[in-house]
Amino acid sequence: MQDCPALFPCRITRYLPCLSSFCLPCLFPGQPTSVLPLTTTSASASLVPVGSPGLDFSARPRLRCCSSHSPSLQPIDFVRAHKNGLFPVFPGLPEYLFARGLIKVAIIIPYRNRHEHLKHLLFYLHPMLVRQQLDYGIYVINQDGEGVFNRAKLMNVGFAEALKDYDYECFVFSDVDLVPMDDRNLYRCFESPRHLSVAIDKFNFQLPYNTYFGGVSAMSKQQFLTVNGFPNAYWGWGGEDDDMYKRIIFHGMSISRPDHITGKYKMIKHDRDDHNADNPERLDKLSHTRETMDKDGINTLNYTVKDIVKDRMYTFINVDIKAP
């Protein structure tokens, strides 16, 4: 495997991942971030260009890890490097972001029995996050057992467990089957809660409805705590994202979104989990969000961690969330 040039050491954040047969990209000056080359041992390994629909889930990605002792995989001071002109400003990335250093972002993925989907997501997501110069960690929160699935509660668990691991300031909550199609869709937090997946191919790249907050979203630590996190009471499919939308609005905040070009996502086709049937109580619960939001959330979270595996590509947390 080739090393990055010594002048431009890779910034591999927390897990030193390698995807397929290639190492994560070096950041060379003067090249667009959407077409950064990959150091590779194969004949070719190309990135998906900005805005391209060419994500391919037909082939099984082979994931492995770089050696943690490679001399090229060493931290660098991005603020100093940027001021010295060693790194380009990313298209659409404001200069002021470099003044505060790398943003600490936790990617939270609620999960059960989706191993192939996870590999596809990581294959595309890791290089994008490195190109966005984030100090990030990926947390896969697995619901133990065969009980009714609870996506929202798993995301609350991910928030709580990630903060035990690192001082994160931003949290991106992502379904395992949604892959971003544009590098300019910034995985970071803004002044208001951010809905990132605004144009999914399943919905013909349109919002299914104006208050939709599902798929992939980003909230700062303070924003998440202000609304008391996600509700824990939504067992089965549907309703939890609409409840979060209401919590945000009821607390005087608004939703921000990227445009429909930047916010494109491709969904990996799959069958519905047999233990994730439609939640028949979701409409009734949604009608009482204002009364329940301060009594059901992070402040009432109850779970048991059964196992934590710290892989170089992600942290896998297996939890018992007391499913009915």
The residues annotated with a catalytic role in the active site are 175, 177, 237, 240-241, 267, 270, 272
CB 156 within 8 A of CB 321: no
Nearest in space to 113 (alpha carbons), one of 321, 307, 272: 272
Cβ(131)–Cβ(9) below 8 Å: no
Between CA 317 and CA 106 the distance in angstroms is 14
Token couple for 93? 């990335």
Distance, in Å, from the CA atom of 293 to the CA atom of 285, rounded to the nearest integer, reads 10
Residue 156 makes CB contacts below 8 A (sequence gap 6+) with: 229, 230, 232, 297, 298, 301
Ramachandran angles phi, psi of 63, nearest 5°: -110, 135
- Nearby residues of 192 by Cβ (< 8 Å), 6 or more positions away: 223, 248, 253, 254, 255, 256
Which tokens sit at 104?
């600490």
Q: What is the DSSP letter of 284?
A: H
Closest CA to 138 of 290, 324, 314, 15: 314
- Phi and psi at residue 247, in whole multiples of 5°? -60, -45
What's the CA gap between 202 and 199, in Å, rounded?
9
Residue 87 — φ and ψ, nearest 5°?
-130, 140
DSSP state of 127: H
Tokens 């303070």, located at residue? 222
